[in-house]
Structure 1
Amino acid sequence: MAVEIVYETHSLTEDNEKGIATGWLPGRLSDQGRRFAVELGARRRDTDLAAVFVSDLHRAVETAQIAFAETTIPIRQDPRLRECNYGELNGCPVTVLATQRARHIDDPFPGGQSYRQVIRATCDFLRELAADPSVPSSSETDGTRVP
């Protein structure tokens, strides 16, 4: 069975506006981010989406809940869709993180993940989704499959 995927990021957060690399911290949408989430819903809610899959981080869940409020489209959380865990750098300025990125493609950030681990987690999710679109959900995954 073919699965068509539409990719959208979480909406604008307070940290984005302040130049903070949130990583695995929850984050909160800014006022503008909440407006963008409403626009996302207007753009996507009538396009025959079967489900919306989001990471379990607050900013992603908040984006989906605003965008797809008052619809019957299921919103499923999965920790494998989280952005990179910057470990000790979660919450640091983006300018600091930018100087470190190239060093952590294969080597994890101290106390966090490598970008390669993020890719593996996303691939694991996508393989599972392609095999059975009804399977991935937060109740069935705990995010520990990333080596």
Structure 2
Amino acid sequence: MAVELVYETHAITEDNENGIATGWLPGRLSERGRVVAAELGDRRRGDGLAAVYSSDLDRAVETARIAFAGTDLPLLQDRRLRECDYGDLNGRPVADFPVPRSRFFEEPFPNGQSYNDVVAATRDFLGELAGRWGGRRVLVIAHSANRWALLHLLTGASMKDLVDAPFVWQPGWTFTVE
């Protein structure tokens, strides 16, 4: 039975506000980010969610905890939902990243991962959802690379195009996972 997956990006971090690519570093929500996390909870609490998954990186975990504080929803962390490991570029200014970023679809970042590695981890995560949550609605709080992977895997969008496109925030993306 299909799962309805709602994807939300973790709330705004201090690194986001300072133009830093956090990658696999923990990151910390900014003051504005904590407000945005609470707004996510206000927006999603009445959504009929069965569970909330997040990356195990601190910024995603903190987003989930703030958003769903005081609820009995299971808050589950999964390392397969981590941002791309930028290796030597973790914690560096976004302006330092080679352009186009899509060159890292198959080629890993120096001492890190490729975006294709994120696609593989996301595919593995999705493979378990239907068996556990079939017929239900699940929220995933993760990172940009995971959103690109979901769009690639579930809509057929080109990963290279997604990686190079400017980020446009919206209040969630909804997918059906068979």
Q: TM-score range by the shorter chain?
A: 0.7 to 0.9
Equivalent residues in 2 for 1:117-128, closer than 5 Å:
117-128=117-128
Q: Which amino acid aligns with 1:50?
A: A
| Identity over aligned pairs, percent | 64
Residue in 2 that maps onto 1:57: 57
Q: Distance in 1 between matches of 2:98 and 2:35?
A: 28
Equivalent residues in 2 for 1:1-147, closer than 5 Å:
1-97=1-97, 99=99, 101-133=101-133
Q: Distance in 1 between matches of 2:32 and 2:98?
A: 24
**Segments of 4+ moved more than 3 angstroms:** none
Structure 1 residue 132: Cα displacement? 2.4
Give 1 or 2: higher strand fraction. Answer: 2
Q: Distance in 2 between matches of 1:129 and 1:85?
A: 24
Q: Distance in 2 between matches of 1:88 and 1:130?
A: 36
5+ residue gaps, structure 2, are: 135-178
5+ residue gaps, structure 1, are: 135-147
RMSD, aligned CA: 1.3
Q: Distance in 1 between matches of 2:7 and 2:102?
A: 24
How many residues of Structure 1 are paired with residues of Structure 2 in the alignment?
134
Structure 1 residue 131: Cα displacement? 2.6
Structure 1 residue 106: Cα displacement? 0.0
Q: Distance in 1 between matches of 2:35 and 2:62?
A: 12
TM-score norm. by structure 1 comes to 0.87
Q: Which amino acid aligns with 2:31?
A: D
For CA contacts below 8 A with separation 6 or more, give which structure has more relative contact order: 2
